Amino acid sequence: MADSIVILTGAGISADSGVATFRGPDGLWEGHRVEDVATPEAFARDPVLVHAFYDARRFRLAEVKPNAAHHALARLDAEWPGDVLIVTQNVDDLHERAGARRLLHMHGELLKGWCLACDGRFAWDGPMGSRAVCPSCRAVGQVRPDIVWFGEMPYDMERIDEALQRADLFASIGTSGAVYPAAGFVQTARYCGARTIEMNLEPSQGSIFFHESRMGRASELVPAWVDQLLASRG
Ligand code: APR
């Protein structure tokens, strides 16, 4: 039976595609802290600002492409004989554009909307703004980005927890380890017996919980790691 692999990705994997990270030197959006635009309270206080933030990021998706790290993970997903689960904190669609299939967006997706009037979730392209019409119930101004904000429950936690408990190998790629519950996945996986590896530009906040740390750019480290894994399976 082949090993079961869980991979957590964060903003650092998309950095080499030109998507800005949250924390770090270019981690601010026009002077706003991410906490000021990514909370339900911020949305209630200033929906125009919050929509402008997400509209700009959704617009940016059309200008970026998956990089070698996304492609390598899609190859691992396609070729690995055991279980693979890619859990991304990213709200971009670069993993799926590279061809990844066993993928969960635990913090939601830029290309989806959520209607607060009818609770419907649907694909969304282009600007949303604060006067958007829900495609299911036609309510006006009730559509928000289907993004998990601070203080909200990430998606698919039961499935993720179950995969972490069964994992033989846990890899964390391009995430600062600043935001829970994702930052705690390494401890769950390790406690349940997985080998743990991080690939990041710098040590993450939970670096001590990893058996192995590889420092550098995801677009270089991840393809080499995937080659190594697939070669180990002959
Ligand atoms: N290759 C690898 N790692 C990189 C690269 C790169 N080219 N560029 C930057 N990094 C690293 C940074 O050093 C940093 O440790 O990626 C990490 C990105 O950290 P964050 O910006 O904090 O992003 P992330 O960990 O995904 O944030 C988690 O916070 O605001 C919320 O919901 C949002 O999903 C997000 C969550």
pLDDT tens-digit readout, 97-143: 999 999 999 999 999 999 999 999 999 999 999 999 999 999 999 99
Confidence at residue 28, expressed as pLDDT on a 0 to 100 scale: 55
pTM of the model as a whole: 0.96
Phi (first) and psi of residue 8, to 5 degrees: -105, 130
Q: Which residue, 1, 76, 69, 77, is CA-closest to 230?
A: 76
Element (H, E) at 158: helix 157-166
Above 80 in pLDDT, residue 234?
no
Q: How far is the CA of 233 from the centre of ligand 1 (A)?
A: 30
Please report, as a single letter, which amino acid is at residue 80.
Answer: W
Q: What is the DSSP string of 22-37?
A: SSSTT--BTTB-HHHH
For 170-196, how does the pLDDT look when each residue is reduced to its tens digit (9 = 90+)? 999 999 999 999 999 999 999 999 999
211 is catalytic: no
Residues with CB under 6 A from ligand 1: 10-12, 15-16, 21-24, 27, 34, 38, 89, 107, 174-176, 178-179, 200-202, 204, 217-218
No. of helices (H) and no. of strands (E), the chain: 9, 9
Contact 128, 113 (CB under 8 A): yes
